Chain A
Amino acid sequence: MATVQLVDLAHARSGDKGDTANVGVIVYDPSHYEILERTLTPERVKTHLGALVRGQVERFELPNLGALNFVLHEALDGGGTVSLMNDAQGKVLSTALLRLEVEVPRAVADAVRGRGWAPADAYHRSS
Protein backbone atom coordinates (compact mmCIF):
# COMPACT_ATOMS: atom_id res chain seq x y z
CA MET A 1 0.00 0.00 0.00
CA ALA A 2 1.01 3.62 -0.49
CA THR A 3 -0.35 7.05 0.32
CA VAL A 4 -1.60 9.63 -2.18
CA GLN A 5 -3.37 12.92 -1.73
CA LEU A 6 -7.05 12.89 -2.69
CA VAL A 7 -6.31 15.67 -5.22
CA ASP A 8 -4.64 13.04 -7.43
CA LEU A 9 -7.63 10.68 -7.34
CA ALA A 10 -10.54 13.08 -7.60
CA HIS A 11 -11.73 16.54 -8.55
CA ALA A 12 -14.34 18.43 -6.56
CA ARG A 13 -16.67 21.41 -6.40
CA SER A 14 -18.15 23.08 -3.34
CA GLY A 15 -20.88 25.57 -2.60
CA ASP A 16 -23.22 26.81 0.12
CA LYS A 17 -26.77 26.78 1.48
CA GLY A 18 -26.83 29.15 4.42
CA ASP A 19 -24.32 27.99 7.05
CA THR A 20 -24.01 24.58 5.38
CA ALA A 21 -21.42 23.84 2.72
CA ASN A 22 -21.31 20.85 0.41
CA VAL A 23 -18.36 19.28 -1.35
CA GLY A 24 -18.93 16.93 -4.26
CA VAL A 25 -15.89 14.70 -4.77
CA ILE A 26 -15.65 13.04 -8.20
CA VAL A 27 -13.16 10.30 -9.13
CA TYR A 28 -11.13 10.74 -12.30
CA ASP A 29 -11.06 6.96 -12.86
CA PRO A 30 -14.36 5.11 -12.15
CA SER A 31 -12.39 2.08 -10.93
CA HIS A 32 -11.21 4.16 -7.96
CA TYR A 33 -14.73 4.90 -6.70
CA GLU A 34 -14.74 1.90 -4.36
CA ILE A 35 -11.50 3.00 -2.73
CA LEU A 36 -13.03 6.37 -1.89
CA GLU A 37 -16.33 4.87 -0.80
CA ARG A 38 -14.40 2.67 1.64
CA THR A 39 -11.89 5.21 2.95
CA LEU A 40 -13.66 8.57 2.84
CA THR A 41 -16.01 8.00 5.74
CA PRO A 42 -17.81 11.02 7.25
CA GLU A 43 -15.73 10.53 10.43
CA ARG A 44 -12.51 10.62 8.42
CA VAL A 45 -13.59 13.83 6.65
CA LYS A 46 -14.72 15.43 9.91
CA THR A 47 -11.34 14.66 11.52
CA HIS A 48 -9.43 15.96 8.51
CA LEU A 49 -11.34 19.25 8.29
CA GLY A 50 -11.18 19.75 12.07
CA ALA A 51 -11.97 23.33 13.08
CA LEU A 52 -13.17 24.17 9.54
CA VAL A 53 -16.45 22.36 10.26
CA ARG A 54 -18.19 22.98 13.60
CA GLY A 55 -21.22 20.75 12.99
CA GLN A 56 -21.67 17.25 11.70
CA VAL A 57 -20.50 15.82 8.38
CA GLU A 58 -23.00 13.82 6.31
CA ARG A 59 -22.06 11.69 3.33
CA PHE A 60 -24.20 10.75 0.34
CA GLU A 61 -23.16 8.39 -2.45
CA LEU A 62 -23.66 8.90 -6.18
CA PRO A 63 -22.06 5.76 -7.63
CA ASN A 64 -23.72 6.57 -10.96
CA LEU A 65 -21.47 9.62 -11.24
CA GLY A 66 -18.43 8.25 -9.41
CA ALA A 67 -19.09 10.88 -6.78
CA LEU A 68 -19.50 11.32 -3.04
CA ASN A 69 -21.32 14.34 -1.67
CA PHE A 70 -20.26 15.65 1.73
CA VAL A 71 -22.61 18.00 3.53
CA LEU A 72 -20.74 20.09 6.10
CA HIS A 73 -22.94 21.67 8.75
CA GLU A 74 -21.96 24.93 10.48
CA ALA A 75 -18.95 25.33 8.22
CA LEU A 76 -19.39 28.94 7.09
CA ASP A 77 -19.46 31.07 10.25
CA GLY A 78 -23.15 31.79 9.80
CA GLY A 79 -22.96 31.72 6.01
CA GLY A 80 -23.52 34.19 3.20
CA THR A 81 -23.48 37.81 4.26
CA VAL A 82 -23.24 37.02 8.00
CA SER A 83 -19.91 35.22 7.74
CA LEU A 84 -16.57 36.91 8.47
CA MET A 85 -14.69 34.25 6.50
CA ASN A 86 -12.76 35.10 3.35
CA ASP A 87 -14.43 32.11 1.68
CA ALA A 88 -17.87 32.87 3.09
CA GLN A 89 -19.65 30.72 0.51
CA GLY A 90 -17.33 27.74 0.80
CA LYS A 91 -16.31 28.01 -2.84
CA VAL A 92 -12.84 26.55 -2.24
CA LEU A 93 -13.56 24.24 0.70
CA SER A 94 -13.46 21.57 -2.00
CA THR A 95 -9.69 21.89 -2.20
CA ALA A 96 -9.25 21.76 1.58
CA LEU A 97 -10.86 18.32 1.42
CA LEU A 98 -8.64 17.29 -1.50
CA ARG A 99 -5.58 17.62 0.78
CA LEU A 100 -6.67 14.46 2.59
CA GLU A 101 -4.22 11.52 2.43
CA VAL A 102 -5.65 8.24 1.13
CA GLU A 103 -4.15 4.73 1.38
CA VAL A 104 -4.22 2.99 -2.01
CA PRO A 105 -2.50 -0.03 -3.61
CA ARG A 106 1.00 0.88 -4.77
CA ALA A 107 0.07 0.40 -8.44
CA VAL A 108 -2.75 2.91 -8.08
CA ALA A 109 -0.45 5.39 -6.35
CA ASP A 110 2.12 5.10 -9.14
CA ALA A 111 -0.57 5.57 -11.79
CA VAL A 112 -2.23 8.67 -10.30
CA ARG A 113 0.58 10.62 -8.64
CA GLY A 114 0.55 14.19 -10.00
CA ARG A 115 -2.82 13.72 -11.77
CA GLY A 116 -4.41 16.70 -10.03
CA TRP A 117 -1.61 19.15 -10.75
CA ALA A 118 -1.03 21.31 -13.82
CA PRO A 119 1.92 20.34 -16.02
CA ALA A 120 4.98 22.53 -15.45
CA ASP A 121 4.45 24.46 -18.69
CA ALA A 122 0.73 25.15 -18.11
CA TYR A 123 1.21 28.50 -16.40
CA HIS A 124 2.89 29.94 -19.46
CA ARG A 125 0.18 29.10 -21.97
CA SER A 126 -1.61 32.08 -23.44
CA SER A 127 -5.13 30.62 -23.53
Chain B
Amino acid sequence: MQPRILRVASGQGFWGDDLEAPVRQVENGPIDYLMLDYLAEVTMSVLQKLRARDRSHGFARDFVPLMERIFATCVERGISVVTNAGGVNPSACTDEVLRVGREAGVAGRARVGTVLGDDLMERLDTLLAEGHDLCNMDTGAPLADIRERVRAANVYFGAEPIVRALALGANVVVTGRAADAALAYAPMIHEFEWRWDDWDRLAAGVVAGHIIECGAQSSGGNCLADWWSIPNLAEIGFPIVEVSPDGSFVVTKHEGSGGRVDRATVTEQIVYEIGDPRAYVTPDVVADFTTIELEDGGSDRVLVGSVRGRAATDFLKVSIAYSAGFKAVGTLMYAWPDAAAKARLAARTLAARLERLGLDLELRADLVGWDSTHGHLAGEPPPDLPEVQLRVAVRGQSRSAVERFTREVAPLVLTGPPTVTGYAGGKPRVEEIVAFWPALIRREVVEPHLTVEVVDV
Protein backbone atom coordinates (compact mmCIF):
# COMPACT_ATOMS: atom_id res chain seq x y z
CA MET B 1 0.00 0.00 0.00
CA GLN B 2 1.21 3.48 -0.80
CA PRO B 3 1.95 5.62 2.23
CA ARG B 4 -0.26 8.68 2.59
CA ILE B 5 2.61 10.96 3.54
CA LEU B 6 6.30 10.38 2.88
CA ARG B 7 8.82 12.17 5.09
CA VAL B 8 12.17 12.87 3.44
CA ALA B 9 14.76 14.52 5.66
CA SER B 10 17.98 16.27 4.74
CA GLY B 11 21.00 15.47 6.88
CA GLN B 12 23.99 17.10 5.13
CA GLY B 13 24.17 20.03 2.72
CA PHE B 14 27.83 19.55 1.78
CA TRP B 15 30.90 17.56 2.87
CA GLY B 16 31.91 19.33 6.06
CA ASP B 17 28.38 20.13 7.25
CA ASP B 18 27.13 19.67 10.86
CA LEU B 19 28.04 16.09 11.88
CA GLU B 20 25.27 15.91 14.47
CA ALA B 21 22.47 16.97 12.10
CA PRO B 22 21.78 13.56 10.50
CA VAL B 23 21.83 11.89 13.93
CA ARG B 24 19.23 14.37 15.19
CA GLN B 25 17.11 13.80 12.07
CA VAL B 26 17.02 10.06 12.78
CA GLU B 27 16.56 10.23 16.54
CA ASN B 28 14.43 13.28 17.25
CA GLY B 29 11.25 12.55 15.31
CA PRO B 30 9.61 10.49 12.59
CA ILE B 31 11.18 10.32 9.11
CA ASP B 32 11.05 7.75 6.30
CA TYR B 33 14.12 8.66 4.24
CA LEU B 34 17.36 10.46 5.07
CA MET B 35 19.15 12.13 2.14
CA LEU B 36 22.76 13.19 2.49
CA ASP B 37 24.46 15.43 -0.08
CA TYR B 38 28.25 15.43 0.18
CA LEU B 39 29.36 16.47 -3.29
CA ALA B 40 30.26 19.89 -4.62
CA GLU B 41 32.00 20.28 -8.00
CA VAL B 42 35.37 20.81 -6.35
CA THR B 43 34.88 17.71 -4.18
CA MET B 44 35.00 15.36 -7.18
CA SER B 45 38.53 16.40 -8.18
CA VAL B 46 39.77 16.16 -4.58
CA LEU B 47 38.35 12.64 -4.41
CA GLN B 48 39.96 11.68 -7.75
CA LYS B 49 43.31 12.76 -6.33
CA LEU B 50 42.77 10.68 -3.17
CA ARG B 51 41.77 7.61 -5.18
CA ALA B 52 44.82 7.96 -7.41
CA ARG B 53 46.96 7.61 -4.26
CA ASP B 54 44.89 4.83 -2.67
CA ARG B 55 42.45 2.65 -4.62
CA SER B 56 40.31 2.15 -1.49
CA HIS B 57 39.68 5.90 -1.12
CA GLY B 58 37.82 8.48 -3.20
CA PHE B 59 34.52 8.80 -1.29
CA ALA B 60 33.13 11.03 1.49
CA ARG B 61 34.67 9.36 4.54
CA ASP B 62 32.34 11.15 6.99
CA PHE B 63 29.54 8.89 5.87
CA VAL B 64 31.09 5.75 7.39
CA PRO B 65 31.31 6.86 11.06
CA LEU B 66 27.85 8.39 10.62
CA MET B 67 26.40 5.02 9.56
CA GLU B 68 28.18 3.44 12.50
CA ARG B 69 26.09 5.70 14.74
CA ILE B 70 22.71 5.49 12.96
CA PHE B 71 22.55 2.19 11.04
CA ALA B 72 20.87 0.14 13.78
CA THR B 73 18.34 2.86 14.59
CA CYS B 74 17.53 3.33 10.89
CA VAL B 75 16.85 -0.39 10.48
CA GLU B 76 14.70 -0.50 13.64
CA ARG B 77 12.66 2.48 12.56
CA GLY B 78 12.44 1.60 8.87
CA ILE B 79 14.40 4.64 7.73
CA SER B 80 16.21 4.37 4.39
CA VAL B 81 19.31 6.39 3.53
CA VAL B 82 20.13 7.83 0.10
CA THR B 83 23.49 9.52 -0.38
CA ASN B 84 26.04 10.58 -2.99
CA ALA B 85 28.83 9.86 -0.48
CA GLY B 86 30.24 7.36 -2.99
CA GLY B 87 32.07 10.19 -4.75
CA VAL B 88 34.41 8.70 -7.38
CA ASN B 89 34.53 5.31 -5.66
CA PRO B 90 31.03 4.18 -4.64
CA SER B 91 32.04 0.50 -4.37
CA ALA B 92 34.71 1.25 -1.77
CA CYS B 93 32.20 3.34 0.16
CA THR B 94 29.68 0.49 0.08
CA ASP B 95 32.32 -1.98 1.35
CA GLU B 96 32.83 0.25 4.39
CA VAL B 97 29.08 0.64 4.93
CA LEU B 98 28.65 -3.16 4.82
CA ARG B 99 31.44 -3.53 7.39
CA VAL B 100 29.93 -1.05 9.85
CA GLY B 101 26.49 -2.58 9.22
CA ARG B 102 27.74 -5.99 10.35
CA GLU B 103 29.38 -4.39 13.38
CA ALA B 104 26.13 -2.60 14.18
CA GLY B 105 24.30 -5.93 14.17
CA VAL B 106 22.04 -5.39 11.17
CA ALA B 107 23.35 -8.36 9.17
CA GLY B 108 20.45 -10.08 7.42
CA ARG B 109 18.16 -7.14 8.12
CA ALA B 110 19.46 -4.56 5.64
CA ARG B 111 20.56 -4.29 2.02
CA VAL B 112 22.95 -1.76 0.51
CA GLY B 113 22.62 -0.56 -3.08
CA THR B 114 25.40 0.96 -5.16
CA VAL B 115 24.98 3.01 -8.33
CA LEU B 116 27.93 2.92 -10.73
CA GLY B 117 28.67 4.37 -14.14
CA ASP B 118 28.74 8.16 -13.74
CA ASP B 119 32.55 8.30 -13.85
CA LEU B 120 33.55 9.06 -17.47
CA MET B 121 37.32 9.33 -16.88
CA GLU B 122 38.15 5.95 -18.41
CA ARG B 123 35.75 6.46 -21.34
CA LEU B 124 36.81 10.03 -22.14
CA ASP B 125 39.08 9.32 -25.13
CA THR B 126 36.62 6.83 -26.59
CA LEU B 127 33.84 9.40 -26.28
CA LEU B 128 35.96 12.08 -27.97
CA ALA B 129 36.92 9.65 -30.73
CA GLU B 130 33.24 8.87 -31.28
CA GLY B 131 32.59 12.54 -31.93
CA HIS B 132 31.28 13.69 -28.56
CA ASP B 133 33.13 17.01 -28.36
CA LEU B 134 32.08 17.81 -24.79
CA CYS B 135 32.24 21.51 -25.69
CA ASN B 136 32.28 23.99 -22.83
CA MET B 137 28.67 25.13 -22.28
CA ASP B 138 29.81 28.68 -21.50
CA THR B 139 32.58 29.24 -24.07
CA GLY B 140 31.87 26.67 -26.80
CA ALA B 141 35.49 25.47 -26.80
CA PRO B 142 36.06 21.73 -27.45
CA LEU B 143 37.35 19.54 -24.62
CA ALA B 144 40.34 18.57 -26.76
CA ASP B 145 41.82 22.00 -25.80
CA ILE B 146 42.38 20.85 -22.21
CA ARG B 147 42.23 17.04 -22.53
CA GLU B 148 45.67 16.37 -20.95
CA ARG B 149 44.78 18.44 -17.92
CA VAL B 150 41.47 16.72 -17.08
CA ARG B 151 41.36 15.35 -13.51
CA ALA B 152 37.76 14.18 -13.19
CA ALA B 153 34.74 13.81 -15.44
CA ASN B 154 31.40 12.78 -14.00
CA VAL B 155 27.93 12.88 -15.40
CA TYR B 156 25.04 14.18 -13.30
CA PHE B 157 22.50 11.37 -13.49
CA GLY B 158 18.91 11.35 -12.31
CA ALA B 159 16.67 9.30 -10.07
CA GLU B 160 16.20 6.17 -12.23
CA PRO B 161 19.10 4.03 -10.94
CA ILE B 162 18.36 5.07 -7.35
CA VAL B 163 14.73 4.02 -7.79
CA ARG B 164 16.00 0.71 -9.24
CA ALA B 165 18.12 0.15 -6.13
CA LEU B 166 15.19 0.94 -3.83
CA ALA B 167 12.97 -1.43 -5.81
CA LEU B 168 15.57 -4.18 -5.23
CA GLY B 169 15.12 -3.64 -1.51
CA ALA B 170 18.07 -1.40 -0.69
CA ASN B 171 17.80 0.35 2.68
CA VAL B 172 20.93 2.34 1.94
CA VAL B 173 21.74 3.63 -1.56
CA VAL B 174 25.27 4.88 -2.25
CA THR B 175 25.86 6.86 -5.45
CA GLY B 176 28.50 8.96 -7.12
CA ARG B 177 27.61 12.13 -9.02
CA ALA B 178 23.80 11.94 -8.85
CA ALA B 179 22.03 15.27 -9.26
CA ASP B 180 21.69 16.57 -5.68
CA ALA B 181 17.90 16.84 -5.73
CA ALA B 182 17.52 13.31 -7.15
CA LEU B 183 18.64 11.92 -3.78
CA ALA B 184 15.45 13.45 -2.34
CA TYR B 185 12.90 12.79 -5.09
CA ALA B 186 13.96 9.24 -6.02
CA PRO B 187 12.24 7.95 -2.83
CA MET B 188 9.04 9.78 -3.85
CA ILE B 189 9.04 8.17 -7.29
CA HIS B 190 9.68 4.78 -5.69
CA GLU B 191 7.05 5.02 -2.94
CA PHE B 192 4.30 6.74 -4.91
CA GLU B 193 5.05 4.94 -8.19
CA TRP B 194 5.06 8.20 -10.11
CA ARG B 195 5.38 7.70 -13.86
CA TRP B 196 8.53 8.91 -15.61
CA ASP B 197 6.45 11.24 -17.77
CA ASP B 198 4.38 12.65 -14.91
CA TRP B 199 6.18 15.95 -15.36
CA ASP B 200 4.26 17.94 -12.76
CA ARG B 201 4.84 15.45 -9.95
CA LEU B 202 8.49 15.00 -10.93
CA ALA B 203 8.89 18.79 -10.95
CA ALA B 204 7.33 18.96 -7.49
CA GLY B 205 9.87 16.37 -6.34
CA VAL B 206 12.68 18.47 -7.83
CA VAL B 207 11.46 21.56 -5.97
CA ALA B 208 11.27 19.57 -2.73
CA GLY B 209 14.79 18.30 -3.32
CA HIS B 210 16.10 21.75 -4.20
CA ILE B 211 14.62 23.14 -0.97
CA ILE B 212 16.27 20.55 1.29
CA GLU B 213 19.50 19.69 -0.57
CA CYS B 214 21.49 22.50 1.09
CA GLY B 215 20.55 21.38 4.58
CA ALA B 216 19.66 24.07 7.08
CA GLN B 217 19.86 26.81 4.46
CA SER B 218 16.07 26.46 4.15
CA SER B 219 15.34 26.15 7.88
CA GLY B 220 16.84 29.37 9.21
CA GLY B 221 20.55 29.00 8.47
CA ASN B 222 22.17 31.75 6.42
CA CYS B 223 18.78 33.48 6.29
CA LEU B 224 18.96 37.26 5.88
CA ALA B 225 15.30 37.99 6.67
CA ASP B 226 15.11 38.83 10.41
CA TRP B 227 18.25 36.78 11.12
CA TRP B 228 18.53 38.30 14.57
CA SER B 229 15.26 36.74 15.67
CA ILE B 230 15.81 33.15 14.45
CA PRO B 231 15.78 30.98 17.59
CA ASN B 232 18.40 28.53 18.82
CA LEU B 233 20.78 28.30 15.85
CA ALA B 234 22.98 26.10 18.07
CA GLU B 235 20.50 23.24 17.67
CA ILE B 236 19.17 24.18 14.24
CA GLY B 237 16.72 21.66 12.81
CA PHE B 238 17.51 20.46 9.30
CA PRO B 239 14.61 20.52 6.83
CA ILE B 240 12.12 17.73 6.25
CA VAL B 241 9.55 17.50 3.45
CA GLU B 242 6.26 15.72 4.11
CA VAL B 243 5.17 14.74 0.62
CA SER B 244 1.69 13.70 -0.51
CA PRO B 245 1.14 11.29 -3.42
CA ASP B 246 -0.04 14.21 -5.61
CA GLY B 247 3.35 15.92 -5.20
CA SER B 248 2.26 18.72 -2.89
CA PHE B 249 4.39 18.88 0.24
CA VAL B 250 5.04 20.63 3.53
CA VAL B 251 8.52 21.89 4.45
CA THR B 252 9.12 21.56 8.17
CA LYS B 253 11.66 20.41 10.78
CA HIS B 254 11.54 18.35 13.96
CA GLU B 255 9.51 19.76 16.81
CA GLY B 256 11.66 21.43 19.45
CA SER B 257 14.63 21.97 17.14
CA GLY B 258 16.16 25.40 16.56
CA GLY B 259 15.92 27.55 13.45
CA ARG B 260 12.82 28.54 11.53
CA VAL B 261 10.77 27.39 8.56
CA ASP B 262 8.61 30.10 7.06
CA ARG B 263 7.91 31.74 3.74
CA ALA B 264 11.10 33.82 3.95
CA THR B 265 13.52 30.99 4.83
CA VAL B 266 12.08 28.70 2.13
CA THR B 267 11.96 31.40 -0.56
CA GLU B 268 15.63 32.29 0.01
CA GLN B 269 16.53 28.67 -0.73
CA ILE B 270 14.24 28.43 -3.77
CA VAL B 271 16.09 31.32 -5.46
CA TYR B 272 19.52 29.94 -4.47
CA GLU B 273 21.76 29.13 -7.43
CA ILE B 274 19.10 29.26 -10.11
CA GLY B 275 19.16 30.77 -13.59
CA ASP B 276 15.97 31.05 -15.61
CA PRO B 277 13.28 30.04 -13.09
CA ARG B 278 10.96 28.86 -15.87
CA ALA B 279 13.49 26.23 -16.90
CA TYR B 280 15.22 24.57 -13.96
CA VAL B 281 16.81 21.72 -15.88
CA THR B 282 17.39 18.37 -14.17
CA PRO B 283 18.08 14.91 -15.61
CA ASP B 284 14.44 13.87 -15.07
CA VAL B 285 12.29 16.94 -15.78
CA VAL B 286 12.44 20.66 -16.51
CA ALA B 287 10.74 22.37 -13.56
CA ASP B 288 9.04 25.76 -13.75
CA PHE B 289 9.77 27.65 -10.52
CA THR B 290 7.35 30.43 -11.49
CA THR B 291 4.48 28.00 -10.84
CA ILE B 292 5.42 27.29 -7.20
CA GLU B 293 2.74 28.35 -4.73
CA LEU B 294 3.76 28.78 -1.08
CA GLU B 295 1.48 29.03 1.90
CA ASP B 296 2.80 29.79 5.37
CA GLY B 297 1.09 27.31 7.67
CA GLY B 298 2.64 28.74 10.84
CA SER B 299 4.48 26.64 13.47
CA ASP B 300 7.48 26.06 11.14
CA ARG B 301 5.37 24.62 8.33
CA VAL B 302 5.27 25.89 4.75
CA LEU B 303 2.93 24.28 2.21
CA VAL B 304 4.22 24.00 -1.36
CA GLY B 305 2.04 23.11 -4.32
CA SER B 306 0.91 23.75 -7.91
CA VAL B 307 4.36 22.98 -9.32
CA ARG B 308 4.43 22.40 -13.07
CA GLY B 309 7.08 20.71 -15.16
CA ARG B 310 7.77 19.61 -18.71
CA ALA B 311 9.72 16.92 -20.51
CA ALA B 312 13.39 16.44 -19.69
CA THR B 313 15.96 17.27 -22.36
CA ASP B 314 17.95 14.73 -24.42
CA PHE B 315 21.14 15.69 -22.61
CA LEU B 316 22.82 15.17 -19.27
CA LYS B 317 25.32 17.56 -17.77
CA VAL B 318 28.93 16.48 -17.35
CA SER B 319 31.13 18.09 -14.74
CA ILE B 320 34.76 18.04 -15.85
CA ALA B 321 37.53 19.19 -13.55
CA TYR B 322 40.89 20.20 -15.01
CA SER B 323 44.15 21.61 -13.77
CA ALA B 324 44.48 25.34 -14.58
CA GLY B 325 47.61 26.70 -12.90
CA PHE B 326 48.41 27.71 -9.34
CA LYS B 327 47.40 30.35 -6.83
CA ALA B 328 48.22 31.63 -3.35
CA VAL B 329 46.68 34.10 -0.91
CA GLY B 330 48.48 36.08 1.79
CA THR B 331 47.25 38.53 4.41
CA LEU B 332 48.71 41.27 6.63
CA MET B 333 46.93 43.46 9.21
CA TYR B 334 47.48 47.24 9.27
CA ALA B 335 46.46 49.42 12.24
CA TRP B 336 45.19 52.95 12.85
CA PRO B 337 45.98 55.69 11.92
CA ASP B 338 45.68 55.65 8.11
CA ALA B 339 45.31 51.86 8.14
CA ALA B 340 43.89 51.68 4.61
CA ALA B 341 46.52 54.02 3.13
CA LYS B 342 49.30 51.86 4.63
CA ALA B 343 47.75 48.67 3.31
CA ARG B 344 47.45 50.17 -0.17
CA LEU B 345 51.07 51.30 -0.16
CA ALA B 346 52.07 47.78 0.87
CA ALA B 347 50.09 46.33 -2.06
CA ARG B 348 51.75 48.76 -4.52
CA THR B 349 55.17 47.92 -3.10
CA LEU B 350 54.51 44.19 -3.51
CA ALA B 351 53.27 44.69 -7.08
CA ALA B 352 56.46 46.62 -7.95
CA ARG B 353 58.68 43.87 -6.47
CA LEU B 354 56.85 41.12 -8.38
CA GLU B 355 57.24 43.20 -11.53
CA ARG B 356 60.99 43.64 -10.97
CA LEU B 357 61.33 39.90 -10.45
CA GLY B 358 59.72 39.42 -13.84
CA LEU B 359 57.11 36.99 -12.50
CA ASP B 360 54.20 36.28 -14.78
CA LEU B 361 51.46 36.55 -12.18
CA GLU B 362 48.03 38.13 -11.92
CA LEU B 363 47.83 40.02 -8.61
CA ARG B 364 44.71 41.14 -6.80
CA ALA B 365 44.74 43.22 -3.59
CA ASP B 366 41.72 43.84 -1.36
CA LEU B 367 41.13 45.47 1.98
CA VAL B 368 39.33 42.95 4.17
CA GLY B 369 37.09 44.90 6.52
CA TRP B 370 36.51 47.54 3.90
CA ASP B 371 36.06 46.67 0.22
CA SER B 372 36.84 42.97 -0.34
CA THR B 373 33.20 42.03 -0.89
CA HIS B 374 31.39 45.20 -2.00
CA GLY B 375 34.22 46.72 -4.06
CA HIS B 376 33.72 50.33 -5.10
CA LEU B 377 30.30 50.41 -3.39
CA ALA B 378 32.16 50.63 -0.07
CA GLY B 379 33.48 54.09 -1.00
CA GLU B 380 36.76 55.56 0.27
CA PRO B 381 37.92 54.27 3.68
CA PRO B 382 38.19 56.95 6.42
CA PRO B 383 41.67 57.75 7.84
CA ASP B 384 40.55 56.71 11.33
CA LEU B 385 39.56 53.15 10.38
CA PRO B 386 40.76 51.19 13.46
CA GLU B 387 42.35 48.42 11.38
CA VAL B 388 42.19 46.74 8.00
CA GLN B 389 43.52 43.47 6.62
CA LEU B 390 45.40 43.52 3.33
CA ARG B 391 44.61 40.42 1.28
CA VAL B 392 46.91 39.76 -1.67
CA ALA B 393 46.19 36.93 -4.08
CA VAL B 394 48.04 35.76 -7.19
CA ARG B 395 47.59 33.16 -9.87
CA GLY B 396 49.76 31.97 -12.72
CA GLN B 397 50.67 28.94 -14.79
CA SER B 398 54.07 28.46 -13.16
CA ARG B 399 54.23 26.90 -9.69
CA SER B 400 57.67 28.40 -9.07
CA ALA B 401 56.42 31.93 -9.79
CA VAL B 402 53.59 31.48 -7.31
CA GLU B 403 56.09 29.95 -4.81
CA ARG B 404 58.24 33.07 -5.16
CA PHE B 405 55.23 35.30 -4.42
CA THR B 406 54.73 33.45 -1.13
CA ARG B 407 58.26 34.60 -0.12
CA GLU B 408 57.48 38.23 -0.91
CA VAL B 409 54.67 38.79 1.60
CA ALA B 410 56.52 38.48 4.94
CA PRO B 411 59.33 40.87 3.96
CA LEU B 412 56.76 43.65 3.81
CA VAL B 413 56.60 43.54 7.61
CA LEU B 414 60.12 45.04 7.94
CA THR B 415 60.53 46.59 4.49
CA GLY B 416 57.15 48.22 3.95
CA PRO B 417 54.71 50.65 5.56
CA PRO B 418 54.52 50.68 9.40
CA THR B 419 52.22 49.25 12.10
CA VAL B 420 51.62 45.87 10.57
CA THR B 421 50.87 42.59 12.34
CA GLY B 422 48.84 39.41 11.98
CA TYR B 423 51.42 37.29 10.27
CA ALA B 424 51.30 34.31 12.61
CA GLY B 425 50.16 31.82 9.96
CA GLY B 426 53.50 31.57 8.14
CA LYS B 427 53.97 31.94 4.42
CA PRO B 428 50.99 31.44 2.11
CA ARG B 429 50.35 27.95 0.75
CA VAL B 430 50.51 27.30 -3.00
CA GLU B 431 47.36 25.62 -4.31
CA GLU B 432 46.75 23.96 -7.63
CA ILE B 433 43.80 25.56 -9.40
CA VAL B 434 41.18 23.04 -10.45
CA ALA B 435 38.82 24.65 -12.90
CA PHE B 436 35.45 23.41 -14.14
CA TRP B 437 34.34 22.65 -17.60
CA PRO B 438 30.59 22.21 -17.86
CA ALA B 439 29.50 20.16 -20.87
CA LEU B 440 26.53 18.24 -22.18
CA ILE B 441 26.34 14.67 -23.41
CA ARG B 442 23.48 12.79 -25.05
CA ARG B 443 21.76 10.74 -22.39
CA GLU B 444 21.71 7.49 -24.40
CA VAL B 445 25.52 7.51 -24.35
CA VAL B 446 25.57 7.37 -20.57
CA GLU B 447 22.38 5.85 -19.25
CA PRO B 448 23.00 2.23 -20.36
CA HIS B 449 26.22 2.35 -18.31
CA LEU B 450 24.46 3.25 -15.06
CA THR B 451 24.37 -0.01 -13.17
CA VAL B 452 22.98 -0.98 -9.79
CA GLU B 453 24.23 -3.61 -7.35
CA VAL B 454 22.28 -4.48 -4.23
CA VAL B 455 23.76 -6.78 -1.57
CA ASP B 456 22.77 -8.01 1.91
CA VAL B 457 24.70 -6.70 4.89
Contact = CB atoms under 8 A, between A and B. Distances in A.
Given A64-B291, A82-B324, A92-B373, A12 B433 contact: no
Interface string B299-315: 00000000000000000
A118 B393 contact: no
Nearest to B366: A86
Interface in A40-88: 48-52, 60-67, 69, 71, 77-82, 84-87
A26 B271 contact: yes
A81 to B, nearest CB: 5
A122 to B, nearest CB: 4
B290 interface: yes
B39 to A, nearest CB: 14
B199 to A, nearest CB: 18
A80 B138 CA distance: 15
A92 B224 CA distance: 11
Given A65-B267, A82-B433, A17 B273 contact: yes
A78 B376 CA distance: 19
B292 A81 contact: no
B272 A15 contact: yes
B375 A81 contact: no
B91 interface: no
Interface string B340-370: 0000000000000000000000101010100
A65 B376 contact: no
B391 interface: yes
B327 A99 contact: no
B274 A24 contact: yes
B400 interface: no
A2 interface: no
Contact of B436 (A18, A87, A93, A122): A18
A22 B274 contact: yes
B438 A64 contact: no
A11 interface: yes
B277 interface: yes
B274 A99 contact: no
Interface centre among B269, B368, B373 (most CB of A within 10 A): B373
Contacts of B234: 127
A15 B214 CA distance: 12
A42 B373 CA distance: 21
A45 B27 CA distance: 46
Contacts of A85: 364, 366, 372, 393
A19 B138 contact: yes
Given A17-B273, A84-B393, A122-B228, A26 B435 contact: no
A69 B271 CA distance: 7
A86 B373 contact: yes
Given A18-B436, A28-B225, A63-B290, A52 B138 contact: no
Contact of B275 (A19, A50, A71): A71
Most B-side CB within 10 Å, residue of A48, A66, A80, A99:
A80
Q: For A13, A61, A67, which residue has the most chain B Cβ atoms within 10 angstroms? A: A13
B228 A65 contact: no
Contacts of A60: 275-278
A95 interface: yes
Contact of B271 (A18, A67, A78, A127): A67
A54 B368 CA distance: 22
Contacts of B222: 13
A62 B290 contact: yes
A48 to B, nearest CB: 8
A44 B324 CA distance: 35
A111 to B, nearest CB: 16
Given A13-B268, A67-B271, A122-B229, 8 more contacts: A22-B271, A22-B273, A26-B264, A71-B276, A84-B327, A84-B393, A99-B374, A99-B377
Closest CB pairs A-B (n = 5)? A24-B271, A122-B228, A15-B273, A84-B393, A86-B372
Interface of B: 41-42, 138, 222-225, 227-229, 231-234, 264, 267-278, 289-294, 324, 327, 329, 362, 364, 366, 368, 372-377, 391, 393-395, 431, 433-436, 438
